[in-house]
Structure 1
Amino acid sequence: MRKHTIIKNAKIVNEGQTIEGDILIENDIIMEIASSISVKSSEITVIDAEGNYVLPGMIDDQVHFREPGLTHKANIETESKAALAGGITSFIEMPNTKPQTTTVEKLEEKFEIASKSSHANYSFMFGGTNDNLDEILKVDSKTVAGLKLFLGSSTGNMLVDDPAVIEKIFSSTDMVISVHCEDEATIKKNLEAHIAEYGDDIPMEKHPIIRSEEACYISSSKAIELAKKTGARLHVFHLSTGKETSLFSNKIPLKDKKITAEVCVHHLWFSDEDYARKGSHIKWNPAVKTSKDREQLLKALLDDRIDVIATDHAPHTLEEKDNPYTSAPSGGPLVQHALLALLEMHHQGKISIEKIVEKACHNPAILFDVEKRGYIREGYYADLVIVDLKSPWTVNKSNILYKCGWSPFEGNTFKSRITHTFVNGELAYNNFKVLDVKAGRRLTFNR
């Protein structure tokens, strides 16, 4: 039986413009977009957007949902629910779980977990190591988001630090290679100097000095140089410095780029001035750096040297975070509040809604060749988010959905709220409530 939903009286944000109109959804597909739509059917649901904005669901290209093996911090079910509350309808999850996703067998086990528990659409990165090239070559690029290499800051054996291996991987795969770039030798030297001065209780504001601009730039520039040499398709995750933005170009369209970049919401929002107040709760790798870096990252995002906005959602428990510097892990939860933070930046006049949609919805779809998602187009899957830009609310323990139970945005009042999230045509989130619907599907790719 055909199921119809009409979203009426919407400001539809898509492909650089905002138009007023209605959206007709039939089962899981957007069937029609028009100034006014009416359908005669006994099976029809009408949702009045009341003049609010309708965006494509965000595609978050970098999350850590901690399953399997680290589920005391988070799991795919809890974090995918939080993602829906944050307007993220599709996610790409990282391989540094326990066990790590460095064999095809372990990759398929994660897909099996997600097929039973994810409320949002999902895919996974395959993880590279110094010794798993044979497994990398078995991966079908049509069914997996891409390859993740830790060229710095890794857990377990996932640090890929053999230059010959890195070059071999770059030369051997046609998958998008996403990299974490921080130079380990530089960080080690800086950390040793700070331990000598402070012991384990290093002031948290020293984090961007230890994991410095130099450490980021050395690693990013080496990766880009190698990508140019080998012709690899390189995507540099979570830029954190203004200096690195000079390594990227806006001369050609994203679809033609071989080297791309991402920035995360926390590097656009926080600066080193916030460590005094937030402490380890804003300790990420790469580190949040200066307000000047933050300004330069936003500038590069707006002028298209940076292509994608993501979260790097990486929860830890408060018990783990509330430790001295050397034992407090890096990372924090973000999927529920990322879009709201971006909309707050819109309210501040820093970025247009159309540009947010381009960087958080359209561009991840282009970059990873995601099939029929990331846009509000007829024939595309109905992954949609309704946002009310004039309905303030405050982040507190009672409305946080992360399993870890905290947020770096606690106490922050956002001017906007997400009222509805649709996944594959199903209403999955409605005004602070995740509905009992598991509509998420495995992402497919046009490759």
Structure 2
Amino acid sequence: MNVTRNEVLEAWMDEHGHSSNSLAEAVNRALERLTGRPGGLDGSSVRDWKAGRVRWPKSATRRALEDVTGLPATALGFLPRGRAPSTPAAPQEDLDMKRRSLVGGIAAAAAAAAAPGTAAPRSIGMSDVGRLQQRFAEIIAGDHRYGGQLGIEQRAAALADEALNLQNAGSATQRVRSNLYACAASFRSSAMWAAIDGRRYDDAKTHMREAQVLAEMSGDQAIKFRIWSHAGAMYRHMGRPADAFAANDVARNLHITRRDPMFASLGLARQAAIHGAAQDRAGTRRALDQAQDAMQRANPDDYRPVWLLAFYDQAELDALALSAHLALGDYPTAEFHAHRCLSTLRPHMRRSQAITTTRLAHAQLAQGDLETATATAMKVPADAATRHPRVSRMLQEFGAALRAKALGDPTVQTWTEHARDTWRATA
């Protein structure tokens, strides 16, 4: 069997200052948090990963590694069992140059290839696609850390344009061109989600239309699902449940949901959140039960795209259940799902942690537990409280609800002083 070095992992380790021993220790600590038992990795284990002798670590180890890095295993150069690399291994290059290409951009190379009169057009291949996919993984990681930021939206949109520029930068097979369109659609869908998360809905709709065209040109079912599923979430946040159902149904009717229960589960979980917004209790319960069943049927070792692996798990299902029950006014059930989500949420999901904590505070306040609710709301990190539009708005609504419910109570002054100090510290 040919063994190919995992240069993506090597590049990540160099960029973050990890030796084989230090990464093994970090993953062992993450394993202990996940399983309650110390991990047994050492430097030789990590060297096996880098050398390509272990191409797909065990599931618990992968989960721990993803917690440490904030990236899915596929974005770190690992390949699921039975899945061959897309192209043969390239000849050995200067290692520093290779690492720079992995973490650097492709815009200069594309411009040089497209410049008239300088050289014959170069051949665009799957290695170019691979570099784009690495950049996409970085966008996903940034989104889960910060969420909703205009900078993430702009960077993703610019990378979509870079992917399209490569179409004109040289010759390519149809397979490569389809993958380039899929990359462009992926970036554009991330720009769309950043705009949704930042409540910039007009911009989100513009990104959505461009993403939909690119996804059709790519023929990629997974990215089509992502775009239409995002559209359903967008319309739900806009208070348009009929449009949300229609968009989410497009995603749920793609054949990828029949092939992979994990896609079916996500579609159903988001359907439950829409049912909650529409005040349909029976529909919410039914969709959540079906989402849970589909997740349990999914094979954890099946290959899935980076964006799905990075966020959808039991914690996200509970987060969507929390949203649904909060909208329904079923506050005890909402609180249950909030606690369960926070107990299993992966460390890199900082944006989700802030949103879930804020929703938990709302659920506790609605049940009359003023002190607990205020203490919970005060746990939201200052950067999320002031810079994430959705979180900022929910915390403002929390303060208004607290004052309306308990004007004159000491908790109102506590919250008011905390909010003032938080805004002042980040101004």
- State whether TM-score is above 0.5: no
Structure with bigger strand share is 1
TM-score normalised by length of structure 2: 0.33
- Structure scoring higher RCO (CA < 8 A, sep ≥ 6) equals 1
TM-score normalised by length of structure 1: 0.32
Structure with max Cα Rg: 2
Structure with bigger helix share is 2
